[in-house]
Amino acid sequence: MRKTKEEAFATRSGILDAAESLFLAQGVSGTSLQDIAGTAGVTRGAVYWHFKDKGDLFNAMIWCRYPAIKQALNAKQVAHIAMMGTAQRNRAQYALTQFDEAGVIVRVRDPALLAQWDRHDWAMLFHRHAT
């Protein structure tokens, strides 16, 4: 039986909600499409009907949540500016700006790389270390 557009949208939304819940609880790599299908109450085939693979599903989830993410980032930036003032920026503000403008999350623990990040030495960070 063919579903209406509204039913298909509801199924897709349920899959996205299930994915978000499981990704938060188990991590992306710890969650299978079968897990998502089971939580959403659909078949794995239904998941594949709406999404090419887990990466496609993850990207769709992020884009669906982007307005809320953007609002939270802006609120965090305003709070930092209110606390620190406009003349002084810290690593947290730089990280928020980086994510806000580029949509990139960078996780770094190496003190040498953090120092390059703080100096905005992008050529060293992304050209030398990425290859």
Residue where the block lists tokens 């299930």 = 18
Q: What is the per-residue pLDDT for 47?
A: 97
Helix (H, G, I), strand (E, B) or coil at 30: coil
Q: What is the per-residue pLDDT for 31?
A: 96
* pTM for this entry: 0.59
Report d(CA 98, CA 13) in Å as an integer: 29
Report d(CA 69, CA 73) in Å as an integer: 6
Q: What is the per-residue pLDDT for 131?
A: 47
HSE at residue 41, side-chain half, CA atoms within 13 A, is: 5
Q: What is the per-residue pLDDT for 103?
A: 64
Q: Output the tens digit of pLDDT for each of the chain's 131 residues.
A: 667 989 999 999 999 999 999 998 999 999 999 999 999 999 999 999 999 999 999 989 888 887 887 788 788 878 877 887 776 777 777 777 777 777 666 666 788 888 887 787 878 777 655 54
Q: Which residues contact 73 (CB under 8 A, 6 or more apart)?
A: 96, 99, 100
Alpha carbon distances (Å) from 54 to 28, 61, 69, 116:
9, 10, 21, 33
